[in-house]
Structure 1
């Protein structure tokens, strides 16, 4: 693609109803926007969409997606193993080419204002777009999830949204809008159903517990197996191969091992380590469709309306 390119990787709190997710994907169909990937996870009850294009077009696509999600996802009836505060839970803007992280942060601020204006969904800004230092980490913004946060915004002014509110939307909650570098969402499945083991591994891995820089990790039960779900957010400091090597060491201590893996969304080329041990656990990984730079040249077809 010529000119500035921004990616947006929104996460929605719906991973079961395919017609609902297809409608959200279709809402992002704006001239100039390319659909790179979308996926659903029923256990996490979550979907992830990746689009890329010129900044103004990506901004409009993201705003429309939040509106569609607010119409069709009711958090008072939604459950899943993944933490969430909103129907459109997180909307990150990511620089791809000829765009800086600061420019993406400005884009996030514009998106937040429009999301509240058009759809009545309050917004928290996080990471590079954070308006306050205590909201730089998404985990801090999302603490308590929708159920607790809707009470806390009335009791504690420090927990109120950056834009809109102070109350959350009654069914769509709030939206965390941010700017960040590309991350890898990498899940490992173990030969066990013992969630306590993967939670212990996650605690030692994640940066917030003194583990590896740029690693966020949770242990959950997904698809009938213990799953270590990770976001690796600083690929230069901590490549996925280094995280995987540490997982193996910790798993060996607990007398277990990972047997299968998945990448949610797509990888930037800098994270693509074709002959690495961690990638060999990915069943039928297709670089043509799962590597960002390749997908930009051959995007997915938009789903039919």
Structure 2
């Protein structure tokens, strides 16, 4: 059986359709690679991509995707609500099938080195590839964002892991990481327009400020619906299931007299992420995954 990696690159463009398509086209019609989908967000001015593939063709496709993004996105002009440090802001990779975390760590190392060798874009490593405990956190790497990092990049704690202590003139820098289980991007939308409430709750949820160690979160304002959200990257839904983070956010929101009005799952996610929620809320006993009839389609 073949080995497969799941990658979730994020690039800093969510408004110009022709640019978004040109970048995602680098992942289409590539043998050994499947583009699951992509999710542009005009408020964030950011697009999230879900792609899976065999290691070697996936690596080459990701490099081509990065090159096209570096060519078409000028960070001196880019503006959006989501924190970012580069045209390709992050490329996290995860083991999907018949591949170990150690192999994904190596894959990420090779990908980061090749990004710099080809495009001279400095690279920061995070997740399992982080060089120190601080850099396990995207918040630490992104502190000050692109504009602030320009000024701070020469400081010892902010220099890139690969490359000179200077941002690429237009492409900025890229974060490459690996983790043990597929990232789930999950938004909890609150019935208020008060951004300070979402930011306070995000601080309670995310690991670096005392919350769940495998969750990174920020408070965001959704202009089109005049509501705020706690936006999370859940790095390991086995250690921190979706329902656990949701319950904490709902409880914290209750302190402010604010309801949860909806949730959003951004991109693909493992089936197990939803099954664990069903088990929790339905109080299922002795549930067997073989009871899901679609699981029996595999191998027919």
TM-score normalised by structure 1 residue count: 0.86
| C-alpha contact (below 8 Å) 1:244/1:278 kept by paired residues | no
The residue number in structure 2 matching 1:51 is 51
Q: Aligned equivalents of 2:122 and 2:259: distance in 1?
A: 42
| C-alpha contact (below 8 Å) 1:189/1:225 kept by paired residues | yes
The residue number in structure 2 matching 1:15 is 14
| Number of residue pairs aligned between Structure 1 and Structure 2 | 280
The residue number in structure 1 matching 2:261 is 259
Q: Aligned equivalents of 2:153 and 2:203: distance in 1?
A: 29
The residue number in structure 2 matching 1:186 is 186
> Are 1:165 and 2:164 counterparts?
yes
The residue number in structure 2 matching 1:104 is 104
| C-alpha contact (below 8 Å) 2:137/2:208 kept by paired residues | no
- Displacement of 1:269 after TM fit? 1.2
Q: Which has the higher contact order (CA 8 A, sep 6+)?
A: 1
Q: Aligned equivalents of 1:153 and 1:213: distance in 2?
A: 26
TM-score normalised by structure 2 residue count: 0.88
- Displacement of 1:80 after TM fit? 1.1
The residue number in structure 2 matching 1:247 is 249
> Are 1:144 and 2:144 counterparts?
yes
The residue number in structure 1 matching 2:285 is none
Q: Structure 2 regions of 5+ residues with no counterpart?
A: 282-293
- Displacement of 1:193 after TM fit? 0.6
Structure 1 residues 229-283: Cα deviation after superposition (integer angstroms, max 9, x where no partner): 111222112110111112111111111111122111111111023975999xxxx
Q: Aligned equivalents of 1:275 and 1:95: distance in 2?
A: 22
Structure 1 residues 130-177: Cα deviation after superposition (integer angstroms, max 9, x where no partner): 2334322222221111111111123x1332111122211111100001
Q: Structure 1 regions of 5+ residues with no counterpart?
A: 280-292, 298-305
Q: Aligned equivalents of 1:135 and 1:204: distance in 2?
A: 20
Moved more, 60-69 or 139-148: 139-148
The residue number in structure 2 matching 1:283 is none
| C-alpha contact (below 8 Å) 1:121/1:169 kept by paired residues | yes
Q: Aligned equivalents of 1:91 and 1:205: distance in 2?
A: 23
Q: Aligned equivalents of 2:51 and 2:119: distance in 1?
A: 21
| C-alpha contact (below 8 Å) 2:190/2:260 kept by paired residues | yes
The residue number in structure 1 matching 2:89 is 89
Alpha carbons of 1:94 and 1:167: their partners in 2 closer, same or farther (altered >3 Å)? same
Moved more, 76-85 or 268-277: 268-277
Q: Aligned equivalents of 2:280 and 2:203: distance in 1?
A: 20
Q: Aligned equivalents of 2:22 and 2:276: distance in 1?
A: 34
Alpha carbons of 1:208 and 1:275: their partners in 2 closer, same or farther (altered >3 Å)? closer
| C-alpha contact (below 8 Å) 1:75/1:172 kept by paired residues | yes
